[in-house]
A and B are shown apart, each in its own frame.
Chain A
Amino acid sequence: MSGDDDGLRGALDRAAAYMLDATVLERIGIAIASTALALCIGLLIVAAAGHNPLLFANQLVIGSFGSERAVARTLTFSVLFVLAGIAVAIAFRAGVFNIGVQGQFIVGGFATVASIVSLAPYLPDGTVGGIVLMLVGTLAAVVAGGLYAALPGVLKAYGDANEIITTIMLNFIAIGFVGWLVAGRFSDPEATATRTERLPDNVGFPSVVFDDPNLSIVGIGATIAVVALIAVIMTRTSFGYDMVTSGHQESAATYSGVDAKRMIVSTMTLSGMVAGLTGAIFAIMIQGYFTDPSGIGNYGFDAIAVSLLAANNPVGVVPAGLLFGGLESAGSHIQINSDVPVQLIDGIVGLVVLFVAVPELFRMMAQRTGLGGDRE
């Protein structure tokens, strides 16, 4: 089911086309080279800013894998990056540029907290009540995220509105609107910071393997299940096949009876559902309440880099997500233990995305140096 090279209808198709052209080995090579080059530039910048790059590199490693706490933190962030990366990959694989995963993640996470907090008084306190609340909260997140992504899908399919721009606008709207709700109707009057009420005590995943309260085997299990499910949907079902073909060969898909417009909406909805689920896990497993979304990490944005590094392959998202989990975890370590501003990590992520966009650069470099002669 690899796409042919023809049928490039402009820039939107181009991204996916080269991904499908490239061999698996080449993709992995490009991903590693992009990351390595971005990290090297990051270290050069650290040196230029007057800090010791070797010390910084050392702190990156310690902060991501140096202790049990660091590993637990890395895995916690990885859960978010893998799930959000899957959300991005679903859309990108189908040729739909959902840049709005961040917004869908926020809306989903907030829906979880809002539904659990509102329902909690009517349910028993015990474990059963907690499980019911978590199921309802997760469902609310999946529905909210799906709907919030379906909207730009409908606008693209039936209104020709460029989804890149509408989803970015919806990110801003999600941040503003949820922020307004968190500060207003849903704010906790007893809290000093702007946040919602805490989730009740019976809501929360058990931490079995690690002591870290923010990491639960349930979160890891759910992530693996979603990866497997989406991988199966994309490669083994007719829905997945139609999704990918309608993204890259619209005419061929239409000819075989696929409604391309409905496919766009379905793709966006599925992508948003996974983004919403990411929000639910973030709210239940990590935060335990919901804060002002303008201060929440850019998981949905970095997920774009995760997905691109993985060539939009759901299984490839796992190692890419672990890498980003490690980077983010190192970021929290650096913030406390280093004078280098932590925003450097965001810049490095941007460089990774930039280099992934230019495979030609690496092909030429490989040719010059005589490496990777097995290309194409």
Chain B
Amino acid sequence: MSSTRTTPGATPAGGPGTAAAPAPGGPAATPAVEVRGVVRRFGAVTALDGIDLVIERGELVSLIGPSGCGKSTLLRVVADLVEPTEGEVRVGGKSAHRARLDQDYGIAFQAAGLLEWRTVAGNVELPLQLHGVGRAARRERARELLDLVGLADFARHRPSQLSGGMQQRVAIARALAERPSLLLMDEPFGALDEMTRERLQAELLAVRAATGCTVVFVTHSVPEAVFLSDRVVVMSARPGRVAAVVPVRLGTAERDDAVRATPAFAASVVQVRAALRATEAPR
């Protein structure tokens, strides 16, 4: 094994011992996510190979690529749900592990993963309850969040009474429950129909504007990536690598559905598609 993982003593600036200390230049200067030389192997398969990626605070970055390119694995490495074989991940200046223990991020998956035996409000309250937040504060926060995602009237419903889009909204509200500075989303709208999907995309942007959190968004839809993102990270498959990073410039004003009809949007879509095609070229 030719592990290039740095030992704590070798790099005093990045070692685990300094994780608790404020980074030079203050917390605001620390990127939200830093991925350095990350390799992840599953047995003989290399899912991620030499990933370097820095995501600034407040940025919305999409990861896109053919299936099997490791975009979900990369998200899980950032979430400390999968350990990198090599390399280092820092979230808000801390190790990914520390960030998970500190609940610095919220996460949402393609399957909403709501607990069937809890009400909608109960599901939103789940992380708060697990981390010992009092009942009154929990109720208040769940009400707030359900307001934010437009489900205030469904607080007492069961998840099975909700449509797929509504369930996904609940999952997003749950991910935001502890006011994370980072929101990780793994194809959250992947199973929804086009109309619902576009509506939720606009809602996600509104939520992001309201909370100011950084978002890492895994998707396989080019228009979705372009509509949402400040930057689109295009990945190639087997082994998963960053093939291109496409900045999206659609103006700083809040995006609405009208953006989808602009030439700038179309241009970005073409650009991302081209980058995606390029990843398939050698075959």
Q: A and B: real partners?
A: no
B interface, CB within 8 angstroms of A: none
A interface, CB within 8 angstroms of B: none
